[in-house]
Structure formats: structure tokens, C-alpha cells
Amino acid sequence: MEIIANTTDFYLARGRETAAAMGKFDGVHIGHRRLLEEILSQKKRGAAACVFTFDPPPAVLFGRRGEDVSVLSTKEEKRLLFERMGVDILIEFPLNQETAAMSPEAFALEVLAERMNVAFLAAGSDLSFGAKGAGDAALLQRLGPKLGFETRIIDKVCLRGTQVSSTLVRERLERGDMEEVLQLLGMPYMIAGKVVEGKRIGRTLGFPTVNLLPRPEKKLPPRGVYFSQVRVRGKVYPAISNVGCKPTVTDEAVMGVESYLYGFGESVYGEDIEVYLYSFRRPEKRFKDREALRAQLQEDIAAGESRYGCILSKAEGKSRIF
């Protein structure tokens, strides 16, 4: 996948038409996936599937002081997902006072038509762009024929009668309702990053773990233990993950994700992993001592063995995430 980032001065190769989707794509939920399906279907006509998004997200530039600007998907996570879905080009367009002040008409002409060679555009019914958000999907439908592209407006996707949105995903995530989050995203909630060296407490308790520190902007579910799966070195392992600060063994208020992987004991410090949270097991708590913590970990791991029995009986690293 070609990534164009940190510049507004780009022009895609002439003669290479694109099928594009615009949006924030926070969470890459099933509504976003509907847009992506439209542009991916255009590849059979020879168009390159192109995703256009702003960097940083608009909330960072225009949000009110004190407003939550955390994200469901970091930039790195979105890149990973888009590439796996088959997107050919990702444009992370710099959002600043100058680019935010472009009129919708100038944006459609200079960016979509001239720089991106858009032939087909999939637009959500709630799309807004240009100065003060004055542009919308209907405007693109009117401008498209003059500028050489077709605009297809995609209605909101509903799940059990409720419109799917990043806001809805956030609400369910904050409640720790990971099963609902999975349905809204079309996949379990992902936290990706590099493995960092921890205090090796898990190893001393007999349960070696891998640790990652999520990016500061990453929105996390409630502190606690989750049934999970972890992708490492191209394979997927059933796991138990703790999201929190590990209060029994440290007083440091640093949020991390610590995972015990069934059937895996290799050193992967500095390597990229992905943790996928399926369901909430229990809240994080401070135990009276490490022996009490060890006993609880044994229960958690046994619960995971019961849950993952059919997976653990299969070849190592072959279970599916999505």
C-alpha cells in the first residue's frame, strides 16, 4: 500500500484513476467497511482503491479545551487494517488552519480531481468537508460530472435498528461491552504496538507475559482482564490480557496491556504485536500479596483454557481473528 503523508504537494500518476472514500475512519467500523467495499469493488474496473483521511483528526484542531480527543484506531492501526483490506493508496492529508480553510469547491477541484484523479467517490450521507464543514455528499454529486467523477452516497449502516457510528463504539467500549464492540467493528477491538520489557513479574509468578504500552491517544476499555487473542510473528494465539496499571506489583500509574499467550514462550522484545479483546473477564484489582495474585491468575488462565479449548486443540497459531 502506498502511503502519502505529511504533504499537500502530491499528484498521483496521470492515467491512473482512483476510486476514493473520504472520512475519519475512526475504529474502521462496519459503516466504514461499507464505504471501503464500494471502492474495492471498483478495482475490477482498473481503478486504484484510495482512502483519504485527515491527519490529525479534526477533533484535535477544532475540539474544545478539555474535550476527549482519544481515538479508537491510531494512525498505525488504520494503516495496518487498510492494507490488509486491499486498499492501494492511503492519503493522510495534513489538517491545519490553511487546509481547513479551503472552500468545498476548491477542495473538490484541486485535491479530488487534479491531485487524486478520482473517477469514483464513495461518500457517507453525513460527510462534511471544506471550510466550516460546508461541503457535503450532495455537493460532490453536483460537482462530480463537471470534474470527471461519479459520487455514490452510502447510507448509514444500522445494527439492530441503531445507526453505527464511532460515537456508539466509544460508548460500548467505555462500558466494557466487548461483544457489542466486536459486532460494531466487524472484528474484536485491537490494540497494536511494540513489545516492551516489563518488570518480569509474570515470569516470577510462573506466567510469562508480553507487554505493550498503547499510544497516548489510544482509547482503552475499562481496566481489567479480558479474554483475547494476540497476533505475533504472523501467527495468532489465544490469550488472557490485562488492561491497566497492575496495582499489586507497582504504584506507577502507567496504562499498559499485558498478555499471557497460550502455547507461546518466546522472547519478542521490540517486535510488533496486535492484541484483540473479545470479552471482559473481571475488573483489575489490588491483591493483598503476590500469592493472592498468583492464585487469581491461575483461575483466569484456567477460565481461558475452558473458553479456548477447541482452539488450543488445533495447530498452534492457526486460530482466526477476523
CATH number at residue 67: 3.40.50.620
Calpha distance 224→250 (Å, rounded): 15
- Domain end, chosen from 159, 180, 215, is at 159
pLDDT of residue 306 exceeding 60, the answer is: yes
Answer yes or no: is 321 within a domain: no
C-alpha distances (whole Å) from 84 to each of 40, 78, 81, 87, 109 are 12, 10, 5, 8, 30
Same domain, 209 and 144: no
What's the pLDDT score for residue 305? Answer: 86
The pLDDT confidence band at residue 252, using thresholds 50, 70 and 90, is low
Return all residues near 202 (Cβ < 8 A) that are at least 6 apart.
208, 209, 258, 260
Q: What is the pLDDT of residues 63-96, one digit of tens each?
A: 666 677 899 999 999 999 999 999 999 999 999 9
Mean pLDDT in residue range 160-170: 96
Longest dimension (CA), the chain: 72
Q: How many CB atoms lie within 10 A of CB 85?
A: 15
Instruction: For residue 183, tell me if it sits in a domain.
Output: no
CB atoms under 10 Å from CB of 308, counted, come to 21
Domain range enclosing 146: 9-159
The answer to whether residues 114 and 23 belong to one domain is yes
| 20, 116 Cβ separation under 8 angstroms | yes
CB 115 within 8 A of CB 12: yes
pTM: predicted TM-score of the whole model, two decimal places = 0.89
Question: How many C-beta atoms surround the C-beta of residue 309 within 10 A?
Answer: 10
